[in-house]
Chains A and B, each alone.
Chain A
Amino acid sequence: QLQLQESGPGLVKPSETLSLTCNVSGDSIKSNNYYWGWIRQPPGKGLEWIGSLYYSGDTYYNPSLKSRVTISVDTSTNQFSLRLISVTAADTALYYCARHTSIGFTSGSYASWFDPWGQGTLVTVSS
């Protein structure tokens, strides 16, 4: 059964770098047709997609965060990571990792979804 688990510091100082890792177990991160994504949720607010990555290194990011975000993969450890620079209090959130499926149909339609999700890890930005 595929499981994802986030890990990393729970407290980051303003202007510093937030770094999180997602450990994937139960399947290879090199599985075809799957991306791996990061999503965050500020306390009491909605979900915000941060970015997604394919095991080959192909990445795409939320345009609003693109200048500060890097998502990378380590296939040897079956993990992928998030790096967010120059954080502020607005980056305080519950950070989730998830497997991201994105496929096209012969009809010309597409589908994209996240499943499963990790349990999430709270990162607070504060001095």
Chain B
Amino acid sequence: SSELTQDPAVSVALGQTVRITCQGDSLRNYYASWYQQKPGQAPVVVIYGRNNRPSGIPDRFSGSSSGSTASLTITGAQAEDEADYYCNSRDSSGPVVFGGGTKLTVL
């Protein structure tokens, strides 16, 4: 079955760098996209494709990939980055999958 695995929770000190990872076989052929979701709000894409940021997303957000693992890195985390983060990809046979989400706490 198609699955994307994320750590349930990650914390980072204010101003430090944090990496959120996503593992799954589909990531060998599909770039992950990453979504930020704050309480009571719809998800917002922060990274898509190889390492693309939509307009309005700060450049402290970046994406990378190696083998079956994709990573979202926040360099210099800010208080407003505290949120749930989801990765997303497609399975080679077609279905779209989301990771279970990572709750990021900024200390």
Contact = CB atoms under 8 A, between A and B. Distances in A.
A110 B100 contact: no
A49 interface: yes
Given A113-B49, A115-B54, A49 B96 contact: yes
Given A46-B99, A100-B96, 7 more contacts: A96-B43, A102-B90, A109-B30, A109-B31, A111-B33, A113-B33, A115-B45
B15 to A, nearest CB: 28
Nearest to A103: B49
Contacts of B96: 37, 49, 52, 62, 100, 112
Interface residues of B, number: 25
Interface residues of A, number: 27
Contacts of A34: none
B44 interface: yes
B101 A46 contact: yes
B64 to A, nearest CB: 13
Interface in B20-58: 29-31, 33, 35, 42-45, 48-50, 54
A112 B30 contact: yes
B43 A117 contact: yes
